[in-house]
Amino acid sequence: MEDAPNRPNRGLIAGAIVFALLAAYLLGYFAFGTNGITTIGPRTVRLHIYHHKWQADIFRPIARVEAVFIGQDVDTAYRN
C-alpha cells in the first residue's frame, strides 16, 4: 500500500487564516482607537474613539463583546 502524497492539511491552513484575521481585527480594535469615558444620564460608558466612521462601525461588535467581559457599557465613536 502506497503512502498518501505529502500535502498540507487544508483544515489547518483554513484555521490559521481565520485565526490570523481575528487576531488582526482584535489588534486593530485596540491599536487604532483612543480611550475615553462619557456619562450618559446615570450611566458611564467607556468609548473607543476612532478617526473615521467606518472604523467605529466595524469595531462596534467587538465593543459589545468587551462590555460583556468587563461588565461595563462599552461603545465606539469617531471624530470628524
pLDDT single digits (tens) 2-39:
666 677 788 999 999 999 999 999 999 999 989 999 88
C-alpha cell at 23: 487576531
> What's the pTM?
0.78
Tell me which H or E stretch contains 1. none
Separation in Å, CA 61 to CA 57, 64, 74, 77:
8, 5, 10, 13
pLDDT score at 3? 64
Q: Name the residue ranges covered by the structural domains of the chain.
A: 10-78
